[in-house]
Amino acid sequence: MADVARLAGVSVASVSRALRGEPGVREDLRHRIEGIARQLHYEVDEGARNLRIRHNRTISVVVPHSPAAGESLSDPFLLALIGSIADALTARSYDLLLSRIDTTQVGRLCRDVESRRAMGVIVVGQGHHHEQLNMVADRGVPLVVWGAHIEGRRYATVGSDNRLGGRLATAHLLDGGARRVAFIGDTSLPEVAHRHAGYVDAHHARGLLPPMELTRPAPFVQARVERELASLLAMEPGIDAIFASSDLTAMTVVHALHRAGLRVPEDLQVVGFDDIPMVAQMRPALSSVAQSVEQAGAALLRALEAVVDGAQAPSIVLPTTLQPRESTRLAPCESARQT
């Protein structure tokens, strides 16, 4: 900046004013300064600027690192979500500091904010770390989590209407003629628990008793899903539909059913969750519950800004919709009336 000032024959104060578009600067001077800056490829030092104004526009986005499961980094939904966040931040000229850390480490979650690198944190997926997240929020770190609204949470959340999604999926299966619908998914995860609650809802709404023995708590890992499915098929021959709590799980399920010589949807219907683009390419094309990814980034940012402004842990729920395809029996038009 000193260089620009010297070349323009003015003080750094004027350069600062000119470059930031402050009013009290003569237009011709401003143009001269801008020209010189451009020529030098000069950009204002963000660190120095932030230090002076005691403020920054960087947001820390944390993708939980799950050493146990291979769940995380092959899921296209996660990429779509991160992309949505990146776009929302870019649109509002925030910077995005990405980190992949173990969410149990409260200290590391807070570090970016406490070292003033970032003004707030977005965590993509709450997993089992409810209590740790509460601790982060208690420490005064502006925090918003993509996930489910949990009783007693002190952090902001943005997430899909998982319960509605679960209800839509299950209703679709039942109305397609299924009587014994299995649920595969790790219900110890809050989001999955809500999907399961919707599954129960749909049964009740039809005067049916949800068959709890058909709920299998398989984590996202492929091998586990296959094992649970095998045991399910062996023990419960009457089963005629499967609601998988993610598309990745559903894909594994369809593949395994095929190897077992069972046809989808003739022998068993299958519905997934997330509606990743790929499921339309499966054979059969997979019915799935779509989340509103495009809205997610903007909603997360809105919630975070509210928290920064002192709001008390707001919570936003985004709509889910059913996308009927070939893996379920009810025709797309018929399923329109579902709830």
Residues contributing to the site for a copy of itself (CB under 8 A): 41-48, 50-51, 56, 61, 63, 70, 72-76, 78-80, 82-83, 86-87, 90, 95-101, 110-111, 114-117, 139, 248, 251-252, 254-255, 258, 276-278, 281-283
Residue 338 interacts with, from DNA, a copy of itself, none (CB under 5-8 Å by kind): none
Between 26 and 206, name the residue whose CB sits nearer to DNA.
Answer: 26
**DSSP string for residues in 197-227:** HHHHHHHHHTTPPP-GGGEE---S-HHHHHH
Binding DNA (rule: CB under 7 A), the pick from 51, 79, 235, 336 is 51
CA distance 118 to 214: 45
Between 26 and 263, name the residue whose CB sits nearer to DNA.
Answer: 26
SS3 for 99?
strand
Between 33 and 62, name the residue whose CB sits nearer to DNA.
Answer: 33
Q: How far is the CB of 203 from a copy of itself (least distance, A)?
A: 29
Between 60 and 157, name the residue whose CB sits nearer to a copy of itself.
Answer: 60
Between 157 and 252, name the residue whose CB sits nearer to a copy of itself.
Answer: 252
Residue 254 interacts with, from DNA, a copy of itself, none (CB under 5-8 Å by kind): a copy of itself
**Residue 1 binding DNA, by CB under 7 A:** yes
What is the distance between the terminal CA atoms of the chain, rounded to a whole angstrom?
Answer: 62
| Tokens encoding 155 | 């952090």
Residue 122 DSSP one-character state = E
**Residue 16 binding DNA, by CB under 7 A:** yes
**Residue 20 binding DNA, by CB under 7 A:** yes
Amino acid at 185: G
Cis peptide before 265 (omega within 30 of 0): yes
**Residue 58 binding DNA, by CB under 7 A:** no
Q: How far is the CB of 171 from a copy of itself (least distance, A)?
A: 26
How big, in percent rounded to 5, are the helix, strand and coil portions of the chain?
A: 45, 15, 40
Distances (CA, A) of 45 to 1, 17, 128, 129: 9, 14, 40, 37
CA distance 265 to 337: 20
Residues in the chain: 339
Q: How far is the CB of 105 from DNA (least distance, A)?
A: 21
Residue 282 interacts with, from a copy of itself, DNA, none (CB under 5-8 Å by kind): a copy of itself
Q: How far is the CB of 116 from DNA (least distance, A)?
A: 7
**DSSP string for residues in 269-329:** EEEEEE--GGGGGSSSPPEEEEE-HHHHHHHHHHHHHHHHTT----EEEE-EEEE--TTSS
Between 55 and 206, name the residue whose CB sits nearer to a copy of itself.
Answer: 55
Residue 26 interacts with, from DNA, a copy of itself, none (CB under 5-8 Å by kind): DNA
Residue 98 interacts with, from a copy of itself, DNA, none (CB under 5-8 Å by kind): a copy of itself
Q: What residues line the site for DNA (CB under 7 A)? A: 1-2, 9-14, 16-17, 19-20, 24-26, 29, 44-45, 48-49, 51-54
